[in-house]
């Protein structure tokens, strides 16, 4: 046996070395970053599908290597506050406390999208309807089965199974959570007083997932699950989502039309550049009620100011083109918002 053992071990040593050599050779062949400069950012998972599309064309246009880590809006704010990255991204506008902690930062709206309420209900292919108060009851655990009368009332004629509802929410600090809870607070007084709105709330029921991918993963693998994320995630993972009832009584989906209609409800950014387009009043009859702008957070003074400005100008103009936004259901920034954004970007200096 010693002889066999020895030859096995010699083979292992040779194999380990060979494996190493293969890996080194392989990675050397990959396109290494010979870019002139790197811009790093972190934050919102909501906007990450769109930012991911920008990496390649940005490199081609300016030689900038864009690095983006989707760690959630809360993480993005923390990262830019500590200047670990060049920019942060958040769907939730900064609070006054966060602005002062960030010490000379500004927020700039740079994309417009909608939060889909996605679900996994095998066997039911219809586009299901949902409204705000019922959704609030679902997320607060008062409705816990799919064939609950509250859901059935909105979906007459659909055969709803008795499957238990599993809520998938965000376990990290999330701007998408802010968007959803902002909506729930405005349609349900009891949600507003019990849980409120924020990047994280005291979820009474459900399973936590990290990032929009985490929530999508839970919904995709759990029959009966309901979760929330930017509509791009629902599309990418072939998950169904609800048509939400807006204030005019229409049921709308998170598509270009619904999101754009919602955006027209607030065309003037506030002093801190934030906008609120959640649950628009009933005259915006095509609006999708859980839409949101999302923001990039940048320091007014940055050592990478030139590259940062190139990147951001490109992002809010060319980056909004249909080839990047259409398939992901992001909507190009409205003119009035674009003007404000460009003015804010030009304030960045080194």
Partner 1 sequence: MSAQQLTGGPDFRTNHLVRRKRVNMGMEALAWLAAAIAIAILGIVVWSVARKGWSELNLDLITKNPIPFSLTNAPQGLSNAFAGTLVIVGLATLMALPVGILIAVYLNEFAPPSIRTGIGLILDILAGVPAIVIGIFVFVLLVSGSGQSAVKGAFSLAILMLPFVARTTIEVLALVPNSLREASLGLGIPAWRTTLSIVLPRAIGGIVTGTVLAVARVAGETAPLLFTSSLVGTQTSWNPSHALQTVPVAIFELSESPDPKDHARAWAAGFILLVFILFASLSARWLATRHARKIAGR
Partner 2 sequence: MSAADVTATPTRRPFTGRRVRFGDAALQLVAGGAALGATVLVGLIIWKVIDGSRPSISKYGLGFVTRVAWNPVVGHELYGAGSFIFGTLITSFFALLIATPLALGVALFLTELAPRWIQAPVTALVETLAAVPSVVIGLWGILVLGPALRTNIESWLHSAFGWIPLFGPPSAAGASIFTAIVVLSIMILPIVSSISRELFLGVPPELKEGALALGTTRWEMIRGVVFPYARGGIAAALILGLGRAMGEAIAVTQVIGGGVFIHWSLFSGGDTLGSKIAASYQGASTDLQSASLIYLGLILLVLSLIANIAAQGIVRQVAKKHGVTRGGHA
Which parts of this chain interact with partner 1 (CB under 8 A)? 5-6, 8-10, 12-13, 15-16, 19-20, 22-24, 26-27, 29-33, 35, 38, 40, 42, 48-49, 52-53, 55, 65-67, 69, 71, 79, 82-85, 209-211, 213-214, 216-217, 219-221, 232-233, 236-237, 327-328
Q: Which is nearer to partner 1, 222 or 306 (CB)?
A: 222
Verify binding: residue 97, partner 2, rule CB under 8 A: yes
Residue 262 CA to residue 266 CA, distance in Å, equals 8
Verify binding: residue 212, partner 2, rule CB under 8 A: no
Please choose, from the candidates 54, 45, 33, 39, the residue with its C-alpha nearest in 3D space to the C-alpha of residue 86: 39
Please choose, from the candidates 339, 342, 332, 335, the residue with its C-alpha nearest in 3D space to the C-alpha of residue 111: 332
Please choose, from the candidates 251, 131, 135, the residue with its C-alpha nearest in 3D space to the C-alpha of residue 191: 135
Listed ranges 148-156, 221-229, 260-268, 310-318: which one lies at the site for partner 2 (CB under 8 A): 221-229
Q: Which is nearer to partner 1, 33 or 346 (CB)?
A: 33
Long-range contacts of 308-313 (CB under 8 A, 24+ apart): 308/39, 308/86, 308/87, 308/348, 309/345, 309/346, 309/348, 310/62, 310/64, 311/39, 311/58, 311/62, 311/64, 311/66, 312/87, 312/108, 312/110, 312/345, 312/348, 313/342, 313/345
Verify binding: residue 72, partner 2, rule CB under 8 A: yes
From 85, 111, 225, 243, residue interacting with partner 2 (rule: CB under 8 A) = 225
Listed ranges 182-190, 201-209, 259-267, 299-307: which one lies at the site for partner 2 (CB under 8 A): 201-209
In the chain, what's the furthest Cα-to-Cα distance? 85
The nearest distance, CB 218 to partner 2, in angstroms, is 6
The nearest distance, CB 24 to partner 1, in angstroms, is 7
Residue 164 CA to residue 51 CA, distance in Å, equals 36
SS3 113: strand
Verify binding: residue 207, partner 2, rule CB under 8 A: yes
Verify binding: residue 166, partner 2, rule CB under 8 A: yes
Structure tokens at 95: 């609070």
Q: Which residues bind partner 2 (CB under 8 A)?
A: 1, 5, 71-72, 74-75, 77-78, 95, 97, 164, 166, 168, 171-174, 196, 198-202, 207-210, 217-218, 221-222, 225
């Amino acid at each position: 046996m010693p002889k066999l053992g020895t030859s096995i071990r010699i083979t292992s040593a040779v194999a380990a070395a060979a494996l190493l050599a293969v890996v080194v050779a392989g990675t050397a062949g990959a396109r290494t970053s010979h870019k002139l400069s790197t811009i790093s950012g972190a934050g919102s998972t909501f906007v990450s599908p769109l930012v991911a599309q920008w990496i390649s064309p940005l490199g081609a246009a300016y030689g900038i290597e864009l690095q983006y880590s989707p760690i959630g809006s809360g993480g993005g704010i923390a990262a830019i506050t500590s200047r670990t990255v060049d920019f942060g991204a958040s769907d939730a506008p900064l609070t006054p406390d966060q602005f002062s902690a960030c010490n000379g930062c500004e927020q700039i709206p740079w994309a417009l999208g909608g939060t889909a309420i996605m679900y996994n209900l095998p066997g039911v292919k219809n586009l299901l309807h949902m409204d705000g108060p019922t959704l609030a009851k679902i997320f607060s655990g008062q409705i816990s089965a799919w064939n609950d009368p509250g859901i059935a009332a909105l979906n007459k004629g659909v055969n709803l199974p008795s499957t238990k509802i599993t809520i998938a929410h965000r376990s990290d600090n999330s701007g998408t959570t802010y968007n959803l809870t902002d909506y729930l607070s405005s349609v349900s007084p009891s949600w507003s007083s019990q849980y409120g709105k924020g990047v994280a709330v005291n979820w009474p029921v459900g399973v936590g997932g990290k990032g929009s991918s985490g929530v999508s993963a839970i919904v995709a693998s759990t029959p009966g699950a309901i979760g929330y994320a930017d509509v791009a995630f629902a599309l990418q993972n072939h998950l169904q989502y609800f048509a939400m009832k807006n204030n005019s009584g229409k049921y709308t989906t998170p598509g270009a039309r619904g999101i754009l209609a919602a955006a027209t409800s607030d065309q003037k950014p506030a002093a801190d550049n934030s906008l609120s387009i959640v649950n628009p009043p009933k005259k915006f009859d095509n609006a999708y009620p859980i839409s949101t702008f999302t923001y990039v957070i940048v320091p007014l003074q940055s050592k990478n100011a030139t590259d940062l400005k190139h990147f951001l100008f490109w992002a809010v103009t060319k980056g909004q083109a249909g080839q990047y936004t259409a398939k992901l259901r992001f909507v190009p920034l409205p003119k009035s918002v674009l003007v404000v954004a460009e003015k804010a970007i030009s304030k960045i200096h080194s």
